[in-house]
Structure 1
């Protein structure tokens, strides 16, 4: 998105920084505001404070119609964007920049729980193929192959954090070396709200994490028991891990880079396009519920607000055939392997 953000929107984002909001949250707000600004430029004209103040109810309706009917955004996404625009309007009201605003009278799309679609989770065969491909060199460029030995264990461990532990993208990208306790086989997961939980790693997964860390050259390796990032960005041109001179520590592997890595691995495994960390997390939750895990335990384990957060997964399971449930179940797969 090349269009500069209007000054009154920048003022709003600055106010969030002053309130101590996380930079990741501010970036999401900024993305939504730029998106709206570009839509306004294309559909109505340049977005100024005066144009924002004069925005009509009909204009707002046209914008959300495009999100829902043209872009096929999910209701949760449109409600998030609605909330950002509403908060911007309230900020302008508090500063006396506007007297009222159409977004405050617009009825946001109703949130109705719906089952996950088939492209929002992986069955056991697909997830196994993904993990197998991560350890292979198939489909890589010559440049990618040279650095691959340093990244195989890192990439597999990241995928396992989503598939086997239900971590979110933010949780994985935020890990520090202080969060990983090799001597206890434990991982401390911190949510965006700062809530911590402890998960126990299997020996195989701990070995992946330890091998990855020891393969990082010592000069750029994150120090144990520190606030330095556990997952470090990689420079394919120099074939080594990157250092942040601004922060004087290893450069953190960003959420965007993790998503890019996953897309590459999914493509190489010939899986359906569009898979992300969220789809892998969906897979973890569906598997656990199908295999009989207690919903309250899952809620606590993932740090979810309430059992209602699992409603979509139960709706999904209700619509699955017996064959699809078996294809997701870990216990069924283990039983099949024993019988063979």
Structure 2
């Protein structure tokens, strides 16, 4: 069974260019499922049927797993068995008849316009790392990029004359994203004043990545999360937010200011517009909140 998992994960990494984090999650999900099969003394994958999969689902529910986690695990197992069938290892996919639990639709967290401006102003641009952090936050807000898209951004992806950046999103799909004036100025300041200083700290060939750490190597996703958390703590908001919240902020502010939903879909790199439509709920919620606070008989 371990051989099949390794083959499948290799196919995701090489054939579909899934992110390391997604591959790690899929590996954990599959190994959890196979531990369940071992408890049931199932050694042959041919003996796995929809009843066993449903029993696994029931076990997850009893363990109080979130519906989002359960849905991901079932999607992973379904995709794994589909791969085995396609490779000729199995004749049937036992997960096809198993319904995926409906996910709870939670409105994404975002920053209001003044909160976002306050966050940007917190950064001390008199320091090299502060210049970098300001460029990082301005880029997130200007482009709505995912965390890993920012991590993977290279110098060759920046096109200042045309005001665009080239982004490789999920599944290695390429898109061009406009870059606002404030973000361009912050990035150019960083590239001129801060990045050369950081790049000089690396031993050997300098990294081509845009954002570097104090050692001159690529700034990791975890480091970006820590940077965001530091400034967010200074902002003293009573909400738990991540760098992804700026992506939500980007989309929400565009729609609030009259942007077309299809344009926002394209900018975010969403394949399905239904994924983008969650942001229309955010704007409606804000309208309702303003109404309740303003109308004398609300």
TM-score (norm 1): 0.68
The 1:38–1:305 alpha-carbon spacing in structure 2 relative to 1, beyond 3 Å, is: closer
SS of 2:166's equivalent in the other structure is: strand
Report 1:304-323 matches (<5 A): 304-321=270-287
Name which of 167, 172, 186 aligns with 1:189.
167
Give how far 1:116 is off: 1.0
Give how far 1:185 is off: 4.3
Name which of 223, 235, 241 aligns with 1:269.
235
Could you give the per-residue CA deviations for residues 143-177 of structure 1, whole angstroms, max 9, x where no partner exists? xxxxx922212222222222233222232222111
Structure 1 equivalent of residue 66 of structure 2:
72
The 1:45–1:127 alpha-carbon spacing in structure 2 relative to 1, beyond 3 Å, is: farther
Task: Indicate yes or no: 2:112 matched with 1:123.
Answer: yes
Name which of 198, 207, 228 aligns with 2:208.
228
SS of 1:188's equivalent in the other structure is: strand
Give how far 1:228 is off: 1.7
Aligned residues: 283
The 1:197–1:63 alpha-carbon spacing in structure 2 relative to 1, beyond 3 Å, is: farther
Give how far 1:101 is off: 5.5
Gaps of 5+ in 1: 137-147, 235-239, 243-250, 328-340
Root-mean-square deviation (CA), in Å? 3.6
CA contact (8 A) 2:13 2:23 kept: no
Structure 2 equivalent of residue 141 of structure 1:
none
Could you give the per-residue CA deviations for residues 116-147 of structure 1, whole angstroms, max 9, x where no partner exists? 15xx11112332332233338xxxxxxxxxxx
Give how far 1:54 is off: 5.1
Structure 1 equivalent of residue 74 of structure 2:
82
Could you give the per-residue CA deviations for residues 301-329 of structure 1, whole angstroms, max 9, x where no partner exists? 3333354333211223223345559x9xx
CA contact (8 A) 2:262 2:273 kept: yes
SS of 1:104's equivalent in the other structure is: coil
The 1:321–1:219 alpha-carbon spacing in structure 2 relative to 1, beyond 3 Å, is: closer
The 1:217–1:315 alpha-carbon spacing in structure 2 relative to 1, beyond 3 Å, is: closer
Structure 2 equivalent of residue 298 of structure 1:
264
CA contact (8 A) 1:122 1:283 kept: yes
Structure 1 equivalent of residue 121 of structure 2:
132
Structure 2 equivalent of residue 156 of structure 1:
134
The 1:89–1:220 alpha-carbon spacing in structure 2 relative to 1, beyond 3 Å, is: same
Gaps of 5+ in 2: 294-298
The 1:134–1:71 alpha-carbon spacing in structure 2 relative to 1, beyond 3 Å, is: farther
TM-score (norm 2): 0.76
Give how far 1:65 is off: 2.3
Give how far 1:17 is off: 4.1
Shift >6 Å, 4+ stretches: 46-49
Could you give the per-residue CA deviations for residues 244-285 of structure 1, whole angstroms, max 9, x where no partner exists? xxxxxxx32233332232223223322345412322111111
The 1:183–1:17 alpha-carbon spacing in structure 2 relative to 1, beyond 3 Å, is: closer
